[in-house]
Amino acid sequence: MSNEIRVRFAPSPTGYLHVGSLRTALYNYLYAKKVGGKFILRIEDTDQTRYVDGAVENLLNTLKAMGLEYDEGPDKGGEFGPYYQSERTEIYNKYVQELLDKGTAYRCFCTPEELDKMREECKAKRLDTRYDGRCRNLTENEINEHLKNGDKYVIRLKVPKEGEITFYDVVREKVTFQWDTVDDQVLVKSDGFPTYHLANVVDDHLMEITHVIRGEEWLPSVPKHLFLYESFGWKPPKMCHLPLLLNSDKSKLSKRQGDVAVEDFLNKGYLPETLLNFVALLGWHAPGDQEFYTLAELEKAFSLKRINKSGSVFDMEKLNWMNGQYLRNTDLKIIAEYARKYFEKAEYHIPNEKHYFELVDIARNRIHKLDEVTEFAKPFFGELEFSDEDKTILGSQSAQTLFKFWAENIADSTELNEELINELLKRSAQELEIKGKNLYPPLRLALYGSAHGPELPTIMDILGKDEVINRFQKLIK
């Protein structure tokens, strides 16, 4: 075994990538980058009942979209493969037999019905509903009789029933569990597939994982895992359990309270750069008060020692604010490229690239996420809608005079440009004696559908000469 630091992200293909899982992947990635180690992707697909078609492809695409490149994985290979657990069952069979031979695991022949009955009886008596270990001490003859009858069985871990186990966690520091609170975990299911617990330990050892960085919901599993390491005579990796992500009401972040899939956030127009920056700060903090980081900056600044113990609230207002900052300060070409799919979906076609960039530039200063860009652009496409108050303004004598004057002068010009627009604004004030709130708001309202919005030269440039004249003429009585 080398001295190289090796970490892994090991999701199950049960759906989309949760933002909590994104944080786990990110912290593993950042730590590997910080220390010059390796970041491994492993697909834990032993639970075939929860497998979702397309989930692996979605996972790989999402990690790619987020810029989290792994060194070894399903589509990259590596000397420690296969990287799908479902392709490693023969490996697990060898090790579970070793546990049976050593007496640290046993066959449990209890049927699902028997287990349900046991739980119900315990529940009625207000007793512990965990498995009571009734198959722990079956004799060899009893086991052989079950096997002879073809009875289905699972294989369970035979954990100690007395004493305690203490271990060190990078975030939690000293952690102690009483053994009588730890259940005899199922290691191999009746279908022959291993559970997470066995496959996880075997794979982490064989893949030479040095640090296990994962969510704190796995903390109660550590005693079982360490017992497995001890049973095999292996050195365990260092443990690092990340704090929970919370809703604003301090409950665990879940689908019930809104979108939690990374793909949902990306589809709504949150930038990958924003999500990485935002998620990185949910449970970790740098020495200073810096809030905005590129991925490269995070790689340099990250430290496991600066991960918080307490849960972090997933603050949507903060995320929206941060995404707005990224939209305004990221290179316009990058934002325009991200925005294209929203224009295509709305079937808004802007053949002139200059006008498209102008529109995106205006919009990004007024929105928080890119799926709002087409709502901002909507006035440039199709019919405008006016309120009764708008119609009163548009129908006033001064507004009508203004529209006729502009329509005639634009029609007589060879080109609609900023110079002409500024000239007509000046003449409107001087010749028509229309100024201030009677000049700009009616013009903007007639062309954009709102008294507030982009500058008039920008609106007219995007609309083009013919459409500007058309919009004025439609309003002239």
Q: Do 233 and 355 belong to one domain?
A: no
Q: What is the mean pLDDT of the chain?
A: 92
Report the domain count for the chain. Answer: 4
Please give the Cα distance from 276 to 289 (Å, whole number).
17
Q: Do 336 and 282 belong to one domain?
A: no
- Residue 67 Cα distances to 12, 29, 32, 336, 393, angstroms: 20, 10, 14, 19, 51
* pLDDT: which is higher, 258 or 308: 308
Paired tokens of 62: 């999402």
- Per-residue pLDDT averaged across 298-321, rounded? 94
In which domain, by residue range, is 341 found? Answer: 331-380
Count the residues in the chain.
Answer: 477
Task: Dump pLDDT digits (tens) for 413-472.
Answer: 888 888 999 999 999 999 999 988 899 999 999 999 998 888 899 899 889 899 999 999
Whether residue 256 has pLDDT greater than 70: no
Q: Do 94 and 168 belong to one domain?
A: yes
For 235, the enclosing helix (H) or strand (E) is none
Q: Do 364 and 444 belong to one domain?
A: no
Whether residue 76 has pLDDT greater than 80: yes
pLDDT confidence of residue 128: 82
Please give the Cα distance from 419 to 265 (Å, whole number).
42
Q: Do 430 and 409 belong to one domain?
A: yes
Please give the Cα distance from 238 to 188 (Å, whole number).
25
* pLDDT: which is higher, 3 or 41: 41
Catalytic residue among 123, 161, 255, 474: 255
Query: Residue 316: pLDDT band by 50, 70, 90 thresholds?
Result: very high
Q: Do 218 and 115 belong to one domain?
A: yes
Task: Dump pLDDT digits (tens) for 185-208.
Answer: 999 999 888 999 999 999 999 999
> What CATH number should be reported for the domain holding residue 370?
1.10.8
**3-class DSSP assignment, residue 40:** strand
Whether residue 1 has pLDDT greater than 60: no
Please give the Cα distance from 313 to 232 (Å, whole number).
40
Whether residue 254 has pLDDT greater than 80: no
Please give the Cα distance from 358 to 12 (Å, whole number).
43
Q: Do 237 and 249 belong to one domain?
A: no
Q: What single-letter amino acid sits at 324?
A: G
pLDDT confidence of residue 123: 84
Would you say the pTM of this structure is higher than 0.85? Answer: yes
Own/partner pairs, 246-251, CB within 8 angstroms, 24+ separation: 246/311, 246/312, 246/313, 246/314, 247/313, 247/314, 248/313, 248/314, 248/315, 248/316, 250/311, 250/313
Pick the range with the lowest mean pLDDT from 86-90, 257-261, 293-297, 461-465.
257-261
pLDDT confidence of residue 50: 79
Q: CA dihedral in degrees (313, 315, 319, 325; nearest 10)?
A: -110
Whether residue 392 has pLDDT greater than 60: yes
pLDDT confidence of residue 21: 95
Share of the chain above pLDDT 90, in %: 76
Q: Do 221 and 346 belong to one domain?
A: no
Could you tell me if 131 and 152 are in contact, meaning their C-beta atoms sit under 8 angstroms apart? no
Paired tokens of 315: 């603050």
Task: Dump pLDDT digits (tens) for 139-159.
Answer: 999 999 999 999 999 999 999
> Is residue 322 in some structural domain?
no
pLDDT confidence of residue 255: 62
Q: Is 255 a catalytic residue?
A: yes
pLDDT confidence of residue 2: 65
For 63, the enclosing helix (H) or strand (E) is helix 55-65
- Per-residue pLDDT averaged across 375-385, rounded? 88
Task: Dump pLDDT digits (tens) for 164-190.
Answer: 999 999 999 999 999 999 999 999 999
